[in-house]
Amino acid sequence: MNDHVRLIKERLDIVDVVSSYLPLRKRGRNYVALCPFHSEKTPSFTVSQERQTYHCFGCGKGGDVFSFVMAIENLSFPEALEKLAQMAGVEIDRRGSSRLPILEEALRFFRDRLDSQEGAVAQGYLGRRGLDRRGIELFEIGWGPMSWGALRDHLISRGFSVKDAIQAGLLVEGQRGPYDRFRGRVIFPLRNETGRLVGFGGRLVDGEGAKYVNSPEGPLFEKRKFLYLLNMAKQAIRERGRVILVEGYMDAIRCHLKGFNETVACLGTSLTEEQCAVIARHSDRCAVCFDSDLAGQEAAIRGMYMLHRMGVEVVVVQIPSGKDPDELLSAPDGVEMFKRALDAALPLPVFHAVSRVRGGASGVGLKGQRELLEGLAGLSPLYLREHIPRVAEVLGVLPHQLETDLERMGWGRARESVRPVGLGDGFSGPSGKAAVAGAGEALLEDDKDDLWEWGLCAALWYRRELRVTLPPERVIPLLRRDEARTLVFALLCGEDPMEMETRWAVMGDRVYPAIIAKGGAFLDQLMVDDPVGEILAGLERNSQMRRYRHLKERMARGESLGKQELEEFFNLARKIKGRG
């Protein structure tokens, strides 16, 4: 029993196990989340990757990966052991001994055959695709021989039955008996996010037949839930705060070989709800990078909207010259071109509009227009408003005309009482900033100094990179308004903006949407290259001025100031006079 526990702990990372139940966010050396064992609004549940433990500072629960699974699923220790053994790929028979699973034995067979003389065809194909020995070893690529029964005979010689092999999806039952499913194919092992081998994908090199064959659906492999290379990408996803989503095996492999280790492949263009849920569990940003000549673009776009509804910010990477990611990254300057494409990725609503225009008459016809508006109308008002001017420009209409069309589709009715303006959208029509400012003034009693605080709220709302890099201890002391302190603290502690927006809508809370709207309008009015730097500087000035006035009022009342307070007063007076 102790050997099984040790082996499971060696194979499983507690961060991976916990993140399969709830979304974790990186905070320093640890990961945090809202505790699943008690109700809270600020994350106090902490997971330590170094110690392989978890602890909640709110309710006090803690332990290792076994105690977590036992607590969250209400399992006994033997039941948790069985579940974690399945995740780790450790087989436990009735005598308690472990053995190499049949899929691992098959993989060893495929890899051995690639290096043999009969693997020359596959070696030639991989060489033409630019895969060297390092890449082949790293991604465990193999070869299924042309023989009808080579794998079958090998597995039988290792003590596995034909029934075992058929159930594992390695053999197909034919009229003349069972035969190898993956004969004559380059083999890509399919590992789940914990690294357990769950199946194979086979690419035909020569002859007739389906270009790709996967393991059949079963208890281990469910294609609708599977993302290729997630087991290798999850650490980079956490560190870089995004997922790069590509279509096929070679696209994902090439991205990893070129340093884009946060890449996974959905093995097709139709994203499923289950795949979207997996992506959303690992990151709130996704750069979709499918082939530029994508035939199934409509299905892909539907999947992107599904991903957005799960709280993921979706951008679409435009690959130049009709290439796919593998072809682009294989070019001499491919890495730089791919980086530029990532930097220039289009937000989902803009991409949808661009794809409609590129589609010609069929894309911008009545049916195409309606599909576009239906997609846009389902987006969060706070999110979409930021992109309305650019979408309108692509479609050749005025922003207020687009808003009117969206409102006819029901956009904004249930989600938003106040019409907040996105960061930098530049729209100043009669229903835009002026209307928002008026609504905000009715809800908030503020002054011009408060606008700097509202501006910080808006900047954090729209810019995720600020939420993960700006230290709370730097900005919270600069804020005077309780509303700003509450909103800023929530965002810096990892609360999801879309969840907050939905909660406000359900509660009928108009104050915080008004804050974000007024802050966004104020940022637009600054007209500087670095509005965030300007905001922080403005908050520093306001904080210093409040302190100066406080000390001055005390002196006016005849209170005596200590030596340090006097030095502080005169230093503040010099700074304020120097600015004046």
Q: Is residue 269 part of a domain?
A: yes
Q: Kindly state whether residues 374 and 238 are assigned to the same domain.
A: yes
- Structural domains of the chain, count: 4
* CATH code for the domain in which residue 14 is found: 3.90.580.10
> Tokens 């065809």 map to which residue?
121
- The distance between the two most distant Cα atoms of the chain, rounded to a whole number of Å, is 105
Is the C-alpha dihedral spanning 45, 48, 53, 57 positive or negative? negative
Contact 3, 96 (CB under 8 A): no
CA-to-CA distance for 254 and 244, rounded, in angstroms? 12
Q: Kindly state whether residues 43 and 121 are assigned to the same domain.
A: no
Contact 129, 225 (CB under 8 A): no
Q: Kindly state whether residues 320 and 403 are assigned to the same domain.
A: yes
In 3D space, the residue among 218, 216, 180 whose CA is nearest the CA of residue 200 turns out to be 216
* Beta strand residue intervals within 307-391, DSSP E: 313-316, 346-347
Q: Kindly state whether residues 489 and 541 are assigned to the same domain.
A: yes
Q: Is residue 439 part of a domain?
A: no
Q: What is the DSSP secondary-structure string of 336-354?
A: HHHHHHHHTPEEHHHHHHH
Q: Kindly state whether residues 347 and 390 are assigned to the same domain.
A: yes
Other Cβ atoms less than 10 A from the Cβ of 317: the count is 22
Structure tokens that stand for 148 in this block: 């009808």
Q: Kindly state whether residues 281 and 396 are assigned to the same domain.
A: yes
Range of the domain at 476: 448-578
Out of 357, 384, 409, a domain closes at: 409
Triad 24, 386, 454: Cα angle to 5° = 75
Tell me the β-bridge partners of 441: none
Contact 41, 490 (CB under 8 A): yes
Other Cβ atoms less than 10 A from the Cβ of 370: the count is 12
pLDDT for res 437: 33
Q: Tell me 301's DSSP state.
A: H
Q: Is residue 427 part of a domain?
A: no
Length of the chain: 580
In 3D space, the residue among 58, 56, 57, 191 whose CA is nearest the CA of residue 67 turns out to be 56
Triad 345, 348, 353: Cα angle to 5° = 100
302: exposed, middle or buried (Cβ count in 10 Å: 0-12, 13-18, 19+): middle
CA-to-CA distance for 461 and 383, rounded, in angstroms? 10
Q: Is residue 454 part of a domain?
A: yes
Q: Kindly state whether residues 29 and 83 are assigned to the same domain.
A: yes
**CA–CA distances in Å: residue 315 to residues 122, 234, 286, 289, 435:** 36, 19, 6, 9, 29
Tell me the β-bridge partners of 33: 45
**CA–CA distances in Å: residue 444 to residues 309, 381, 400, 420, 460:** 30, 21, 26, 14, 20
Q: Is residue 417 part of a domain?
A: no
Q: Kindly state whether residues 29 and 142 are assigned to the same domain.
A: no
493: exposed, middle or buried (Cβ count in 10 Å: 0-12, 13-18, 19+): middle
Q: Is residue 420 part of a domain?
A: no
Residue 502's contacts (CB-CB under 8 Å, 6 or more residues apart) are 415
* CATH code for the domain in which residue 210 is found: 3.90.980.10
Out of 221, 241, 256, a domain closes at: 221
Q: Tell me 289's DSSP state.
A: -
Q: Kindly state whether residues 146 and 182 are assigned to the same domain.
A: yes
Structure tokens that stand for 187 in this block: 């083999």
pLDDT for res 337: 93
Q: Is residue 437 part of a domain?
A: no
Q: Kindly state whether residues 188 and 266 are assigned to the same domain.
A: no
In 3D space, the residue among 211, 152, 154 whose CA is nearest the CA of residue 184 turns out to be 211
pTM over 0.85: no
Q: Which helix (H) or strand (E) holds 30?
A: strand 30-33
Out of 61, 88, 115, a domain closes at: 88
Residue 380 half-sphere exposure toward CB, CA atoms < 13 A: 26
Structure tokens that stand for 403 in this block: 């808003």
pLDDT for res 328: 92
Going residue by residue through the chain, which has 580 residues, state the pLDDT in tens, using 9 for 90 and above: 457 788 888 889 999 899 888 888 888 778 888 999 988 888 889 898 888 888 888 888 888 898 899 888 877 888 788 889 888 877 765 443 344 589 999 999 999 999 999 899 999 999 999 999 999 999 999 999 999 999 999 999 999 999 999 999 999 998 889 999 999 999 999 998 878 888 999 999 887 888 999 999 887 888 998 999 999 998 899 889 899 999 999 999 999 999 999 999 998 868 999 999 889 888 889 999 987 554 457 778 889 999 998 889 999 998 876 688 999 999 999 999 999 999 999 999 999 998 888 765 444 556 777 888 888 988 888 888 889 888 988 888 888 888 888 888 887 654 443 333 232 232 222 223 332 333 333 344 557 778 889 889 988 988 888 888 888 888 888 898 888 888 998 888 888 887 787 777 667 677 887 788 778 778 777 767 778 888 888 888 888 888 888 888 888 888 888 888 888 888 878 877 765 5
* CATH code for the domain in which residue 251 is found: 3.40.1360.10
* Beta strand residue intervals within 128-262, DSSP E: 142-144, 171-174, 177-180, 185-191, 197-204, 212-214, 243-246
CA-to-CA distance for 463 and 447, rounded, in angstroms? 25
Letter for the amino acid at 56? Answer: C
pLDDT for res 433: 31
Q: Which helix (H) or strand (E) holds 18?
A: helix 14-19
How does strand 243-246 pair with strand 263-265? parallel
pLDDT for res 210: 87
Contacts of 539-544 spanning 24+ positions with Cβ under 8 A: 539/452, 539/453, 539/456, 539/475, 539/478, 539/479, 540/478, 541/579, 542/449, 542/452, 542/478, 542/480, 543/477, 543/478, 544/572, 544/575, 544/576
Q: Which helix (H) or strand (E) holds 136?
A: helix 133-138
Q: Kindly state whether residues 55 and 145 are assigned to the same domain.
A: no
pLDDT for res 351: 93
Q: Is residue 313 part of a domain?
A: yes
Q: Kindly state whether residues 211 and 257 are assigned to the same domain.
A: no
